[in-house]
A = this chain, B = another copy of it.
Amino acid sequence: MNSDICLLSHAEQALRLSRIGVSEPTLVCDNANLFYLTGRIFSGYVMLRPDAEPVYYVKRPVELTGAGIRYIRKPEDMGADFPGGIERLALETSSLAYGDALRLQKALGAREITDCSAKIMAARAVKTPAEIEALRADGISQSAVYRRIPRMFTQGMTDIELQAAIEYASRLEGCLGIFRVNGPSMELHMGSVLTGENADTPSPYDFAMGGRGISPALPVGASGEQIKPGAVVMVDMNGCFNGYMTDMTRMFVNAETADNLDPMITKAWHCSRAICSRLAADGKPGTSARELYETALAMAHEQGLGAYFMGHRQHAGFVGHGVGIQVNELPVLAPRSKAVLAEGNVIAIEPKFVLPGIGAIGIENTYVVTPSGLECLTNAPEEITALT
């Protein structure tokens, strides 16, 4: 094991720091941000200051080494390094607990707390070449799992049984299982497999699709419903193999061939795929995220599918979202977004429909924004695939 606290090269870390643009003392402790700044998870804090090397205050694990590392038992142990206190201390106010923020303010003698969450999220939205390589590797692993899905299915299976089989295959492929989400409340276990009417059950979260879940303790996704002959199945499973995650959705049908589908299914699937293609062609550095959403919505309406776009009984308010260390990063392709795409953004585009009486239909791919357009990182076949 490499015991150096920072697993990133100096140049890679410097690039990430320059994107954050540290302008005041900034204390970071959110796991996703620690991973961004060091390439590893530990328990503790990174103190960033303008024109200074990072200082790593570590509680656990023991035995880490490297420049700038200082072991502490509790936040108050950092105080000695700031004898005169700090005028303004930037903290992750969108994830750090209120009580912890006040404790850190006191421990470091800070007169004012400011926010660094937004700034770091903005920096993380523009992936470095090394991060794009990690996401590319994820896309390859996730695609390998998806290609094997028909072989995991046996007649009579429920949605949760198929999901468990995909989870198992994913874990054997190297998937970490965890699913890092920005914000405290969104919970999901490794993704979602939806069949039939269940897709139309509203969920607590702003996810593209719903689902009742198997317990009111986790009311989202697969519900234990059998995958009926002829039924379509939407698979949107975990793509986190190395700390970064791609996001991909594919459609399957419980039939020997996908040639004789209900015309509504075919129409919705074609529309989803057409939206992906169109947005992939339109999306370039400088393209408005709002306009991409509007294009997608207009294409859904043109096909008479507007009422089913991104849900039916409950609608999600976006058609795409950044992905990276967390599954819901920036930019968001949404009606009121002010974002424009930048080179290095990595976004999942997921135009999906819920057709009453039929279920969830649509595909999703993860793309990196390049000067010449969107490059797809999730290259599994997009066709609706027969399961039997």
Task: Identify 18 residue pairs between A and B in the complex whose beta-carbon atoms are under 8 Å apart, listed by A's number.
Answer: A35-B217, A39-B216, A41-B217, A41-B218, A43-B204, A61-B210, A62-B314, A63-B202, A63-B313, A93-B97, A96-B97, A96-B184, A161-B172, A163-B171, A164-B168, A167-B177, A176-B189, A215-B242
Contact A214 B176 (CB under 8 A): yes
A94-135 contacts to B, CB under 8 A, are 94-102, 113, 115, 117
- From DSSP, what is the main secondary structure of chain A's interface residues? loop
Q: Let me know if A201 is at the binding interface, CB within 8 A.
A: yes
Contact A187 B60 (CB under 8 A): no
Please judge, given known A-B contacts A60-B204, A97-B95, A97-B97, whether A171 and B164 are in contact too, CB under 8 Å: yes
A residues lining the B interface (CB < 8 Å): 1-2, 7, 29-31, 35, 39-43, 60-63, 91, 93-102, 113, 115, 117, 160-161, 163-165, 167-168, 171-172, 174, 176-178, 184-185, 187, 189-190, 201-206, 210, 212, 214-219, 240, 242-243, 313-314
Determine the distance from Cα of A187 to Cα of B35 in the docked complex, in whole angstroms: 13
Please judge, given known A-B contacts A93-B98, A97-B98, A160-B171, whether A185 and B29 are in contact too, CB under 8 Å: yes
The 9 closest A-B pairs by CB, nearest first: A217-B243, A177-B189, A61-B202, A164-B171, A98-B101, A93-B99, A40-B216, A168-B168, A93-B98
Contact B97 A94 (CB under 8 A): yes
Determine the distance from Cα of A203 to Cα of B313 in the docked complex, in whole angstroms: 44
Q: Determine the chain B residues whose CB is within 8 A of the CB of A168 once the complex forms.
A: 164-165, 167-168
Q: Determine the chain B residues whose CB is within 8 A of the CB of A313 once the complex forms.
A: 62-63
Contact B41 A219 (CB under 8 A): yes
Q: Determine the chain B residues whose CB is within 8 A of the CB of A115 once the complex forms.
A: 99
Determine the distance from Cα of A216 to Cα of B203 in the docked complex, in whole angstroms: 32
In-complex Cβ contact of A314 among B60, B206, B216, B217 (8 A): B60
Determine the distance from Cα of A203 to Cα of B113 in the docked complex, in whole angstroms: 30
Q: Determine the chain B residues whose CB is within 8 A of the CB of A117 once the complex forms.
A: 99
Determine the distance from Cα of A98 to Cα of B184 in the docked complex, in whole angstroms: 12
Contact A242 B219 (CB under 8 A): no
Contact A203 B160 (CB under 8 A): no
* Given A61-B314, A164-B171, A178-B189, 14 other A-B residues pairs in contact with their CB atoms under 8 A: A31-B187, A35-B217, A41-B217, A60-B205, A60-B314, A62-B314, A91-B98, A96-B184, A98-B101, A176-B217, A177-B189, A177-B190, A177-B218, A217-B240
Determine how close the nearest CB of chain B comes to the CB of A359; give it in whole angstroms: 16
Determine the distance from Cα of A172 to Cα of B214 in the docked complex, in whole angstroms: 11
In-complex Cβ contact of A167 among B99, B171, B216, B219 (8 A): B171
Q: Determine the chain B residues whose CB is within 8 A of the CB of A203 once the complex forms.
A: 60-61
Determine how close the nearest CB of chain B comes to the CB of A183; give it in whole angstroms: 8
Determine the distance from Cα of A96 to Cα of B97 in the docked complex, in whole angstroms: 5
